[in-house]
Amino acid sequence: MEVILDDRDERPGVKFKDADLVGFPIRVSIGEKSLAKGEVEIKPRGGAIIPVKIDQAVARVVELAKQQAGALAG
């Protein structure tokens, strides 16, 4: 699994649009509001935003990646 960190000095909307244009399969967003709740936001390509507790984020991303890989294989 590869990770791209977009640390450019751009608005979130610009970064999200660029991620969609590039075709990233899963986007993990870490922002002040979600962190205040102890969460991150995970968005699979073409899906809805999923708020996930920080300690469950890696497992949820791996689960989504496996689902996507399975959908491509079968």
Per the structure, the complete domain to which residue 43 belongs is given by: 12-73
**3 in a structural domain:** no
Question: Average pLDDT for consecutive 10-residue bins of the chain (74 residues)?
Answer: 93 94 95 95 95 97 92 73
Q: Name residue 1's amino acid.
A: M
Give the model's pLDDT for residue 74: 65
- Rounded to the nearest 5 degrees, what angle is found at the Cα of 17, between the Cα atoms of 12 and 19? 95
The token pair at 31 is 């922002």
**55 in a structural domain:** yes
Task: Round to whole Å and give the CA distance between 42 and 40.
Answer: 7
Q: Which residue has the tokens 């977009």?
A: 6
Give the model's pLDDT for residue 70: 82
How many structural domains is the chain composed of? Answer: 1
**1 in a structural domain:** no
Give the model's pLDDT for residue 48: 96
Give the model's pLDDT for residue 71: 78
How many helices (DSSP H) and strands (DSSP E) are in the chain? 3, 3
Report the predicted TM-score, pTM, of the whole model to 2 decimal places. Answer: 0.87
Q: What is the CATH number of the domain that holds 43?
A: 3.40.50.800
**2 in a structural domain:** no
Give the model's pLDDT for residue 66: 93
**32 in a structural domain:** yes
